[in-house]
Amino acid sequence: MTEEINHANGGAPLWNPAVRWGAFSPKSVHRDVMLSAAAARGVAVERFDNQVFRLSHLGRSVLFHGHMPDTTSFVARTISNSKHQTKFFLKEAGISFPEGQIFEVKDMEAAWTYAKSLGLPTVVKPLSGSGGDGVTSDINDKEHFELAWRSMAPAIKRVVEKHIRGTDYRLMIIGDRFIAATLRVPAFLIGDGQSTVSELIEAKNKARALNPYVGGKPIKATENILRTLRKLGLTLESVLKADRTVQLHAVANIGAGGDSIDVTHMVHPDFADIAVRAGRSIPGAFHAGVDLLVDDITKPAAGQTYGVCEVNTRPDVALHHFPLQGPARDAAGVMIEAMFPLARLVPKEKWVTKSLSLTGKVTGVGLRKKIEHLAAENSLAGWVKNNDDGTVSAIISGPPIALNHVIDVLRKRPSTRVNISDHEGEVPDDFRIHR
C-alpha cells in the first residue's frame, strides 16, 4: 500500500488486495473492507453480531451496522432514500439534476404524457432504491415505457425524469473531500465467432465471480435485455461474430452486470467539487456516493450538460477497492482515518508474528478457509496448512490488536485447542492457504 495521493483535490491512496481477493465474500465485502481497514490501523473491533460492531481508538467509538456508521444520521438516510427529497436539497445547493416528477403506479398513462412533455428519451425509476435496481433509461417509445413501468414492484411509486446523455460515474466523498471515482459501463458482450449469447453471458459471469464486489452481481437475461437483443436481431442462441461488441443495457448498472473502471486520477477539479457539494447538501451525511452523468469528466464543467441523479448515503465502499479495471483505492481506509484522526497504518516493524498449532476437530470443517477470511478481515499476513497428523499449522502476522482478536476467535471454537509460540522466520506479504 502507498500513501501517495493521486489527485490534486485529494483521493484515496492505492490499495493492493493481492491474493486476499478470494477471502472476501460478495455478501459481506463492504463490511469486511471496513474491518480490514480498521485492523490495519490498530483500531479495536468489538463484535455484537454478524452485522453490528463497534470500532474504538484512543477514547473515540463509532458503531456500525454492516458498512453503515453511526456518523451518518437517520435524517440523511431518509432524504437520500427519496429521490424527490434529494432533488430538493440538490436544488438548494445549486447542483444540476434531471427534471422529473413522481407518479403512483395507477397513473401510467399520465406518466407517459408527462414523459412526452419532457421530450424523449426519458427515464423511469423507483422513488426509493439503490444500486440501479428498477432503473430503465433511454426510453423512446410507449412499449419500452410500459415495460419499464411493469418491471418494478407494484407498491413502489415511480419517478419519470428527463434522460441526460452522458457517461455514468460514481464519485465517493467523505466530509469535504473527494475520495474516488468509478466509471460504470453498461453490461456488454464481445463475440468470439463461436459462442452463443447465452454462453458468453455464462463465461462473463464466471470471470466476474472472481471479483469480491461484482461476483455477486451476475448478468441475468431480463426482459429488458431480451428486448435489446430483439432490436439487434439477436436471441440468446445467436452466435456473435468475433470482436463484435453488444451492449445489453442502456443503464450502467453494475448490479445488472455492468463493469467498473477506476478513474479517480482523471476527475477534473470542477466535478470533484460538484460531488463534494452534492454530498454535503444532504444534512447529516458523513459520506456519500454521488451518481453523475456527464460527457467528459476530465474537462471543466462549464460548457457541458451534466446532472447528479442520486446521492447515496450508504455507498458501496468496496466498489472502489475491487474495480474490474484500474487501480484499487483504499476508500475504507480514508473513512477510518476520517473517523479516527490519529489512526494510521501500523508499520510492519510494529507487527507481531505468532506460530499457531491447532488440534482437536480441525480438519474437514473448513477451518483453513475460516482462518483465511479472518486474516483478510483483520489485515493479517501469513499462511495456514493441514498436517499429515490431522493438526493444522498457521503463521499469522499483523498489528497486535488484530492478531490478538483472531487468536481469541480461534480459542473460542468448540473442540479446538490452540497452542501459540513466537515466530522469527519469513512471512509472506499476503495470506495463503498451503495445499
Q: Is 368 a catalytic residue?
A: yes
User: What pairing do the DSSP bridges indicate for beta strands 431-434 and 381-386?
Assistant: parallel
pLDDT for position 4: 37
Between CA 354 and CA 94 the distance in angstroms is 56
Q: How far is CA 306 from CA 10, 91, 241, 326, in A?
A: 22, 14, 35, 24
Catalytic pick from 386, 411, 413, 419? 386
Between CA 384 and CA 369 the distance in angstroms is 9
Please state the domain extents for the chain: 1-98+164-186+258-344, 187-250, 348-434
pLDDT for position 249: 85
**CA-based angle 351:354:355, to the nearest 5?**
155
Between CA 374 and CA 431 the distance in angstroms is 10
Tell me the CATH class for 348-434. Answer: alpha beta
With residues binned 3-state (H G I as helix, E B as strand, rest as coil), the percentages for the chain, rounded to 5, are 30, 25, 40
Closest Cα to residue 180, out of 323, 302, 26, 392? 323
> Cell triple for residue 312?
447515496
Helices (H) and strands (E) in the chain, counts: 12, 20
CB atoms within 10 A of CB 232: 14
Same CATH fold, 348-434 and 1-98+164-186+258-344?
A: no
Q: Is 6 a catalytic residue?
A: no
pLDDT for position 126: 86
Between CA 421 and CA 396 the distance in angstroms is 11
Contact 278, 310 (CB under 8 A): no
Between CA 24 and CA 431 the distance in angstroms is 12
Closest Cα to residue 85, out of 157, 176, 190, 163? 157
User: What pairing do the DSSP bridges indicate for beta strands 306-312 and 287-294?
Assistant: antiparallel
Between CA 181 and CA 329 the distance in angstroms is 9
Catalytic pick from 208, 368, 378, 432? 368
Q: How far is CA 396 from CA 25, 356, 382, 425, in A?
A: 21, 8, 5, 11
Q: How far is CA 63 from CA 52, 53, 66, 224, in A?
A: 7, 6, 10, 40
> Any idea how long the chain is?
435
Q: Give the bridge partners for 371, in sequence order.
A: none
Q: Per-residue pLDDT for the chain (435 aa), expressed as one digit of tens each?
A: 333 334 434 578 887 554 456 678 888 999 999 999 999 999 999 999 989 999 999 999 999 999 999 999 999 999 999 888 999 999 999 999 988 899 999 999 999 999 999 999 999 988 876 556 678 888 999 999 998 898 887 768 889 998 888 899 999 999 999 999 999 999 999 999 999 999 999 999 999 998 999 998 999 998 889 989 999 999 999 999 999 999 998 778 888 899 999 999 999 999 999 999 999 999 999 999 999 999 999 999 999 999 999 999 999 999 999 999 999 999 999 999 999 999 999 999 999 999 999 999 999 899 999 999 999 889 999 999 999 999 999 999 999 999 999 999 999 999 899 999 999 888 988 899 987
Query: If you ran DSSP here, which 8-state letter would residue 388 be given?
Result: T
Domain covering 1-98+164-186+258-344 in this structure, CATH number = 3.30.470.20
Backbone angles phi, psi at 400, to 5 degrees: -55, -45
Strands of the 100-103 sheet, one edge to the other: 100-103, 158-162, 122-126, 136-139
Q: Which residues contact 141 (CB under 8 A, 6 or more apart)?
A: 120
String of b and e for 1-18 (b: at least 16 CB within 10 Å)? eeeeebbebbbbbbbebe
Scanning 209-312, the segments in alpha helix (DSSP H) are 223-231, 269-280
Between CA 73 and CA 75 the distance in angstroms is 5
Q: Give the bridge partners for 357, in sequence order.
A: 393, 419
Burial of 138 (0-12, 13-18, 19+ CB in 10 A): middle
